[in-house]
Copies of this chain bind each other. A is one copy, B any other.
Protein backbone atom coordinates (compact mmCIF):
# COMPACT_ATOMS: atom_id res chain seq x y z
CA UNK A 1 0.00 0.00 0.00
CA UNK A 2 1.42 3.31 -1.06
CA UNK A 3 0.19 5.95 1.31
CA UNK A 4 1.92 8.69 -0.58
CA UNK A 5 -0.30 8.44 -3.60
CA UNK A 6 -1.40 11.95 -4.35
CA UNK A 7 -5.05 12.25 -5.15
CA UNK A 8 -5.26 14.53 -8.15
CA UNK A 9 -8.55 16.18 -8.80
CA UNK A 10 -9.94 13.42 -10.99
CA UNK A 11 -8.86 10.59 -8.68
CA UNK A 12 -10.40 12.45 -5.76
CA UNK A 13 -13.66 12.82 -7.62
CA UNK A 14 -13.69 9.17 -8.66
CA UNK A 15 -12.93 8.00 -5.14
CA UNK A 16 -15.62 10.23 -3.70
CA UNK A 17 -18.10 8.95 -6.23
CA UNK A 18 -17.25 5.31 -5.58
CA UNK A 19 -17.71 5.79 -1.85
CA UNK A 20 -20.93 7.70 -2.35
CA UNK A 21 -22.32 5.11 -4.73
CA UNK A 22 -21.34 2.22 -2.51
CA UNK A 23 -22.89 3.86 0.52
CA UNK A 24 -26.15 4.14 -1.36
CA UNK A 25 -26.30 0.80 -3.12
CA UNK A 26 -24.24 -1.59 -0.98
CA UNK A 27 -23.02 -3.10 -4.25
CA UNK A 28 -19.41 -3.05 -5.42
CA UNK A 29 -19.21 -0.28 -8.02
CA UNK A 30 -17.74 -0.81 -11.44
CA UNK A 31 -16.38 1.53 -14.04
CA UNK A 32 -19.40 1.36 -16.29
CA UNK A 33 -21.89 2.15 -13.55
CA UNK A 34 -19.79 5.15 -12.71
CA UNK A 35 -19.70 6.57 -16.23
CA UNK A 36 -23.39 5.93 -16.69
CA UNK A 37 -24.69 7.46 -13.47
CA UNK A 38 -22.24 10.33 -13.09
CA UNK A 39 -21.00 12.76 -15.64
CA UNK A 40 -17.29 12.08 -15.66
CA UNK A 41 -16.39 13.21 -19.16
CA UNK A 42 -14.16 10.24 -19.79
CA UNK A 43 -14.80 6.66 -20.83
CA UNK A 44 -15.08 3.64 -18.58
CA UNK A 45 -11.66 2.45 -19.68
CA UNK A 46 -10.05 5.53 -18.25
CA UNK A 47 -11.97 5.06 -15.05
CA UNK A 48 -10.70 1.50 -14.92
CA UNK A 49 -7.13 2.72 -15.08
CA UNK A 50 -7.76 5.27 -12.37
CA UNK A 51 -9.50 2.76 -10.18
CA UNK A 52 -6.60 0.36 -10.57
CA UNK A 53 -4.31 3.09 -9.31
CA UNK A 54 -6.64 3.92 -6.43
CA UNK A 55 -6.56 0.25 -5.52
CA UNK A 56 -2.76 0.23 -5.66
CA UNK A 57 -2.83 3.30 -3.43
CA UNK A 58 -4.89 1.43 -0.86
CA UNK A 59 -8.11 3.40 -1.21
CA UNK A 60 -10.18 0.72 -2.89
CA UNK A 61 -10.34 -3.05 -2.75
CA UNK A 62 -11.89 -5.66 -4.97
CA UNK A 63 -13.95 -8.34 -3.21
CA UNK A 64 -12.88 -10.69 -6.02
CA UNK A 65 -11.58 -10.46 -9.56
CA UNK A 66 -14.30 -9.42 -11.92
CA UNK A 67 -16.18 -7.51 -9.28
CA UNK A 68 -16.46 -3.78 -8.84
CA UNK A 69 -14.54 -1.85 -6.21
CA UNK A 70 -15.38 -1.20 -2.59
CA UNK A 71 -13.76 1.46 -0.40
CA UNK A 72 -11.11 0.40 2.11
CA UNK A 73 -10.72 1.96 5.56
CA UNK A 74 -8.31 4.41 3.98
CA UNK A 75 -10.82 5.16 1.25
CA UNK A 76 -13.55 5.98 3.75
CA UNK A 77 -11.07 7.99 5.76
CA UNK A 78 -10.12 10.13 2.79
CA UNK A 79 -13.80 10.56 2.01
CA UNK A 80 -14.68 11.70 5.49
CA UNK A 81 -11.66 13.93 5.97
CA UNK A 82 -11.27 15.53 2.58
CA UNK A 83 -13.78 14.61 -0.07
CA UNK A 84 -17.21 14.68 1.48
CA UNK A 85 -19.50 17.69 1.56
CA UNK A 86 -20.45 18.63 5.12
CA UNK A 87 -24.19 18.42 5.59
CA UNK A 88 -26.57 20.40 7.71
CA UNK A 89 -29.67 19.14 9.43
CA UNK A 90 -32.84 19.06 7.41
CA UNK A 91 -35.64 21.17 8.80
CA UNK A 92 -37.55 17.96 9.44
CA UNK A 93 -34.75 16.54 11.58
CA UNK A 94 -34.39 19.82 13.41
CA UNK A 95 -38.05 19.78 14.22
CA UNK A 96 -38.06 16.21 15.46
CA UNK A 97 -35.08 16.86 17.71
CA UNK A 98 -36.68 19.99 19.08
CA UNK A 99 -40.01 18.27 19.71
CA UNK A 100 -38.30 15.41 21.46
CA UNK A 101 -36.44 17.59 23.90
CA UNK A 102 -39.37 19.88 24.51
CA UNK A 103 -41.17 17.12 26.35
CA UNK A 104 -38.15 15.23 27.56
CA UNK A 105 -37.79 14.02 31.12
CA UNK A 106 -35.86 15.90 33.79
CA UNK A 107 -34.21 12.74 35.04
CA UNK A 108 -30.72 12.27 33.65
CA UNK A 109 -30.92 8.55 33.07
CA UNK A 110 -34.30 8.88 31.35
CA UNK A 111 -33.01 11.65 29.15
CA UNK A 112 -30.03 9.57 28.13
CA UNK A 113 -32.34 6.74 27.30
CA UNK A 114 -34.77 8.83 25.30
CA UNK A 115 -31.92 10.43 23.42
CA UNK A 116 -30.64 7.08 22.19
CA UNK A 117 -34.12 6.25 20.97
CA UNK A 118 -34.39 9.52 19.15
CA UNK A 119 -30.99 9.26 17.59
CA UNK A 120 -31.40 5.64 16.55
CA UNK A 121 -34.72 6.49 14.96
CA UNK A 122 -33.35 9.45 13.05
CA UNK A 123 -30.13 7.81 11.98
CA UNK A 124 -31.43 4.32 11.27
CA UNK A 125 -28.44 2.94 13.10
CA UNK A 126 -27.48 1.98 16.60
CA UNK A 127 -27.27 4.95 18.96
CA UNK A 128 -25.32 5.05 22.19
CA UNK A 129 -25.12 7.65 24.92
CA UNK A 130 -22.92 7.98 27.97
CA UNK A 131 -23.95 10.25 30.78
CA UNK A 132 -21.48 12.89 31.82
CA UNK A 133 -18.95 11.41 34.16
CA UNK A 134 -18.83 13.04 37.51
CA UNK A 135 -15.24 13.50 38.45
CA UNK A 136 -14.29 15.87 41.23
CA UNK A 137 -17.06 18.13 42.34
CA UNK A 138 -17.87 20.33 45.24
CA UNK A 139 -19.83 19.52 48.36
CA UNK A 140 -22.93 21.68 48.57
CA UNK A 141 -25.29 20.46 51.20
CA UNK A 142 -26.20 17.53 53.40
CA UNK A 143 -29.54 17.03 55.06
CA UNK A 144 -30.56 14.29 57.45
CA UNK A 145 -34.31 14.04 57.28
CA UNK A 146 -36.34 12.61 60.13
CA UNK A 147 -39.12 10.42 58.81
CA UNK A 148 -40.16 8.50 61.90
CA UNK A 149 -38.45 7.75 65.23
CA UNK A 150 -36.75 4.78 63.67
CA UNK A 151 -36.19 5.87 60.08
CA UNK A 152 -34.35 8.71 58.38
CA UNK A 153 -33.23 9.78 54.98
CA UNK A 154 -29.87 11.30 54.13
CA UNK A 155 -29.54 13.56 51.10
CA UNK A 156 -26.15 14.76 49.96
CA UNK A 157 -26.07 17.45 47.30
CA UNK A 158 -22.95 18.14 45.30
CA UNK A 159 -22.17 20.37 42.36
CA UNK A 160 -22.86 17.33 40.27
CA UNK A 161 -26.52 17.36 41.23
CA UNK A 162 -28.06 15.26 43.93
CA UNK A 163 -25.13 13.06 44.82
CA UNK A 164 -26.90 10.48 46.90
CA UNK A 165 -29.96 9.77 48.88
CA UNK A 166 -30.05 6.90 51.31
CA UNK A 167 -32.62 5.60 53.70
CA UNK A 168 -31.62 4.35 57.13
CA UNK A 169 -33.34 2.39 59.81
CA UNK A 170 -32.26 2.82 63.41
CA UNK A 171 -32.27 0.28 66.19
CA UNK A 172 -33.28 2.94 68.74
CA UNK A 173 -35.40 6.06 68.45
CA UNK A 174 -33.67 9.17 67.22
CA UNK A 175 -34.56 12.78 67.77
CA UNK A 176 -35.37 15.10 64.86
CA UNK A 177 -33.49 17.99 66.46
CA UNK A 178 -30.36 15.91 66.78
CA UNK A 179 -30.45 15.24 63.09
CA UNK A 180 -30.92 18.91 62.31
CA UNK A 181 -28.04 19.91 64.54
CA UNK A 182 -25.83 17.30 62.93
CA UNK A 183 -26.84 18.46 59.46
CA UNK A 184 -26.02 22.06 60.33
CA UNK A 185 -22.66 21.16 61.79
CA UNK A 186 -21.71 19.12 58.77
CA UNK A 187 -22.81 21.86 56.42
CA UNK A 188 -20.88 24.62 58.09
CA UNK A 189 -17.74 22.51 58.29
CA UNK A 190 -17.73 21.15 54.75
CA UNK A 191 -19.25 24.08 52.85
CA UNK A 192 -17.18 24.97 49.80
CA UNK A 193 -15.04 21.83 50.01
CA UNK A 194 -14.32 19.44 47.19
CA UNK A 195 -15.92 16.07 47.90
CA UNK A 196 -12.59 14.29 47.88
CA UNK A 197 -11.43 16.42 50.78
CA UNK A 198 -14.27 15.38 53.07
CA UNK A 199 -12.55 12.76 55.20
CA UNK A 200 -14.09 10.16 57.44
CA UNK A 201 -12.05 11.27 60.45
CA UNK A 202 -13.56 14.71 60.18
CA UNK A 203 -17.05 13.24 60.01
CA UNK A 204 -16.20 11.16 63.04
CA UNK A 205 -14.99 14.13 65.02
CA UNK A 206 -18.12 16.16 64.31
CA UNK A 207 -20.28 13.21 65.31
CA UNK A 208 -18.27 12.79 68.47
CA UNK A 209 -18.65 16.48 69.38
CA UNK A 210 -22.40 16.23 69.03
CA UNK A 211 -22.46 12.91 70.84
CA UNK A 212 -24.51 11.14 68.21
CA UNK A 213 -24.63 7.37 68.16
CA UNK A 214 -22.12 5.33 66.22
CA UNK A 215 -25.06 4.06 64.21
CA UNK A 216 -25.80 7.54 62.94
CA UNK A 217 -22.14 8.23 62.42
CA UNK A 218 -21.86 5.16 60.21
CA UNK A 219 -24.91 6.28 58.29
CA UNK A 220 -23.37 9.67 57.60
CA UNK A 221 -20.17 8.03 56.53
CA UNK A 222 -22.10 5.75 54.17
CA UNK A 223 -24.07 8.62 52.68
CA UNK A 224 -20.91 10.56 51.94
CA UNK A 225 -19.26 7.47 50.54
CA UNK A 226 -22.12 6.95 48.12
CA UNK A 227 -22.01 10.59 47.06
CA UNK A 228 -18.25 10.43 46.53
CA UNK A 229 -18.17 7.20 44.59
CA UNK A 230 -18.12 7.86 40.88
CA UNK A 231 -20.60 5.05 40.35
CA UNK A 232 -21.17 2.92 37.30
CA UNK A 233 -20.79 4.91 34.16
CA UNK A 234 -24.31 5.41 32.93
CA UNK A 235 -24.74 4.19 29.40
CA UNK A 236 -27.64 3.47 27.10
CA UNK A 237 -28.01 2.02 23.64
CA UNK A 238 -30.94 1.66 21.29
CA UNK A 239 -31.71 0.67 17.75
CA UNK A 240 -29.91 -2.65 17.45
CA UNK A 241 -32.68 -3.89 15.22
CA UNK A 242 -31.79 -1.20 12.70
CA UNK A 243 -28.59 -3.07 11.99
CA UNK A 244 -30.56 -6.02 10.71
CA UNK A 245 -31.59 -3.98 7.70
CA UNK A 246 -28.01 -3.58 6.58
CA UNK A 247 -26.88 -6.30 4.20
CA UNK A 248 -23.47 -6.50 5.84
CA UNK A 249 -25.06 -7.86 8.98
CA UNK A 250 -27.08 -10.59 7.36
CA UNK A 251 -24.24 -12.84 8.38
CA UNK A 252 -25.31 -14.09 11.79
CA UNK A 253 -21.80 -14.43 13.15
CA UNK A 254 -21.03 -10.78 12.61
CA UNK A 255 -24.37 -9.76 13.99
CA UNK A 256 -23.88 -11.77 17.14
CA UNK A 257 -20.44 -10.33 17.70
CA UNK A 258 -21.84 -6.84 17.51
CA UNK A 259 -24.84 -7.54 19.72
CA UNK A 260 -22.50 -9.00 22.29
CA UNK A 261 -20.51 -5.82 22.35
CA UNK A 262 -23.62 -3.73 22.67
CA UNK A 263 -25.00 -5.72 25.56
CA UNK A 264 -21.74 -5.72 27.46
CA UNK A 265 -21.85 -2.24 28.81
CA UNK A 266 -18.23 -2.35 29.86
CA UNK A 267 -16.94 -2.98 26.34
CA UNK A 268 -19.32 -0.48 24.87
CA UNK A 269 -18.24 2.11 27.36
CA UNK A 270 -14.58 1.54 26.62
CA UNK A 271 -15.27 1.80 22.93
CA UNK A 272 -16.82 5.23 23.22
CA UNK A 273 -15.05 6.62 26.24
CA UNK A 274 -11.75 5.91 24.56
CA UNK A 275 -12.50 8.99 22.60
CA UNK A 276 -13.28 10.96 25.75
CA UNK A 277 -9.93 10.27 27.30
CA UNK A 278 -7.63 10.31 24.29
CA UNK A 279 -8.02 13.81 22.96
CA UNK A 280 -8.69 16.89 24.97
CA UNK A 281 -12.33 16.56 24.06
CA UNK A 282 -13.42 19.11 26.58
CA UNK A 283 -12.14 21.84 24.34
CA UNK A 284 -13.14 20.22 21.06
CA UNK A 285 -16.86 19.66 20.68
CA UNK A 286 -16.62 18.54 17.05
CA UNK A 287 -17.66 15.07 15.96
CA UNK A 288 -15.13 12.32 15.49
CA UNK A 289 -15.36 9.41 13.12
CA UNK A 290 -13.62 6.10 13.57
CA UNK A 291 -13.70 3.66 10.72
CA UNK A 292 -13.26 -0.12 10.64
CA UNK A 293 -9.96 -1.20 12.14
CA UNK A 294 -9.48 2.20 13.70
CA UNK A 295 -11.91 0.91 16.30
CA UNK A 296 -9.34 -1.66 17.39
CA UNK A 297 -11.87 -4.44 17.71
CA UNK A 298 -11.98 -7.28 15.24
CA UNK A 299 -15.73 -7.67 15.61
CA UNK A 300 -16.16 -4.09 14.52
CA UNK A 301 -13.87 -4.27 11.50
CA UNK A 302 -16.83 -3.59 9.25
CA UNK A 303 -18.32 -0.87 11.40
CA UNK A 304 -17.82 2.82 11.87
CA UNK A 305 -18.63 5.00 14.82
CA UNK A 306 -19.45 8.69 14.93
CA UNK A 307 -18.91 10.22 18.36
CA UNK A 308 -19.64 13.67 19.59
CA UNK A 309 -19.22 15.00 23.12
CA UNK A 310 -21.72 17.17 24.91
CA UNK A 311 -21.21 19.33 27.90
CA UNK A 312 -23.49 19.34 30.91
CA UNK A 313 -22.71 22.31 33.10
CA UNK A 314 -20.07 21.41 35.64
CA UNK A 315 -21.02 17.77 35.70
CA UNK A 316 -18.57 17.13 32.93
CA UNK A 317 -18.64 15.79 29.46
CA UNK A 318 -20.79 12.98 28.09
CA UNK A 319 -20.76 11.25 24.75
CA UNK A 320 -23.22 10.52 22.03
CA UNK A 321 -22.35 7.92 19.43
CA UNK A 322 -23.79 6.29 16.36
CA UNK A 323 -22.58 2.83 15.41
CA UNK A 324 -23.31 1.37 12.01
CA UNK A 325 -21.76 -0.26 9.01
CA UNK A 326 -18.71 1.46 7.51
CA UNK A 327 -21.03 2.09 4.61
CA UNK A 328 -22.91 4.76 6.55
CA UNK A 329 -24.04 8.20 5.35
CA UNK A 330 -21.33 10.05 7.21
CA UNK A 331 -22.43 13.55 6.38
CA UNK A 332 -25.96 13.04 7.60
CA UNK A 333 -24.99 11.13 10.71
CA UNK A 334 -22.39 13.69 11.71
CA UNK A 335 -24.98 16.43 11.39
CA UNK A 336 -27.53 14.40 13.35
CA UNK A 337 -25.14 13.53 16.15
CA UNK A 338 -23.92 17.11 16.48
CA UNK A 339 -27.40 18.55 16.46
CA UNK A 340 -28.69 16.06 18.98
CA UNK A 341 -25.67 16.57 21.24
CA UNK A 342 -26.19 20.29 21.21
CA UNK A 343 -29.89 19.98 22.05
CA UNK A 344 -29.14 17.40 24.71
CA UNK A 345 -26.61 19.67 26.40
CA UNK A 346 -28.99 22.61 26.23
CA UNK A 347 -31.85 20.57 27.64
CA UNK A 348 -29.81 19.25 30.53
CA UNK A 349 -28.50 22.66 31.40
CA UNK A 350 -32.00 24.12 31.29
CA UNK A 351 -33.44 21.47 33.51
CA UNK A 352 -30.76 21.07 36.09
CA UNK A 353 -29.91 23.31 38.96
CA UNK A 354 -26.89 25.51 38.33
Among candidates B106, B147, B250, B354, residue contacting A157 with C-beta atoms closer than 8 Å: B147
**Can you name the residue of chain B whose Cβ is closest to the Cβ of A240?**
B259
Among candidates B141, B147, B153, B259, residue contacting A244 with C-beta atoms closer than 8 Å: B259
Among candidates B145, B147, B232, B240, residue contacting A110 with C-beta atoms closer than 8 Å: B232
Among candidates B140, B146, B232, B241, residue contacting A256 with C-beta atoms closer than 8 Å: B241
Query: Which chain A residues numbered 288 to 317 have a C-beta less than 8 Å away from chain B?
Result: none
Across the interface, which residues of B come within 8 angstroms of A161, CB to CB? 167
Among candidates B140, B151, B241, residue contacting A260 with C-beta atoms closer than 8 Å: B241
Q: Does A333 contact B (CB under 8 A)?
A: no
Q: Does A43 contact B (CB under 8 A)?
A: no
Query: Which chain A residues numbered 140 to 180 have a C-beta less than 8 Å away from chain B?
Result: 140-141, 143, 145-148, 151, 153, 155, 157, 161-162, 165-169
Report whether B256 and A353 are in contact in the complex, using a CB–CB cutoff of 8 Å.
no
Report whether B252 and A244 are in contact in the complex, using a CB–CB cutoff of 8 Å.
yes
Across the interface, which residues of B come within 8 angstroms of A109, CB to CB? 109
Across the interface, which residues of B come within 8 angstroms of A252, CB to CB? 244, 250
Interface bits A322-354 vs B (CB < 8 Å: 1, else 0): 000000000000000000000000000000111
Among candidates B148, B239, B259, B352, residue contacting A241 with C-beta atoms closer than 8 Å: B259
Among candidates B110, B168, B232, B263, residue contacting A239 with C-beta atoms closer than 8 Å: B263
Inter-chain CA distance A180–B153, complex, in Å, is 16
Q: Does A238 contact B (CB under 8 A)?
A: yes
Among candidates B145, B151, B157, B260, residue contacting A143 with C-beta atoms closer than 8 Å: B145
Query: Which chain A residues numbered 4 to 48 have a C-beta less than 8 Å away from chain B?
Result: none
Inter-chain CA distance A353–B147, complex, in Å, is 10
Among candidates B151, B165, B256, residue contacting A162 with C-beta atoms closer than 8 Å: B165
Q: Does A212 contact B (CB under 8 A)?
A: no
Inter-chain CA distance A259–B252, complex, in Å, is 14
Across the interface, which residues of B come within 8 angstroms of A52, CB to CB? none
Residues of A within 8 A of B (CB): 106, 109-110, 140-141, 143, 145-148, 151, 153, 155, 157, 161-162, 165-169, 232, 238-241, 244-245, 250, 252, 255-256, 259-260, 263, 352-354
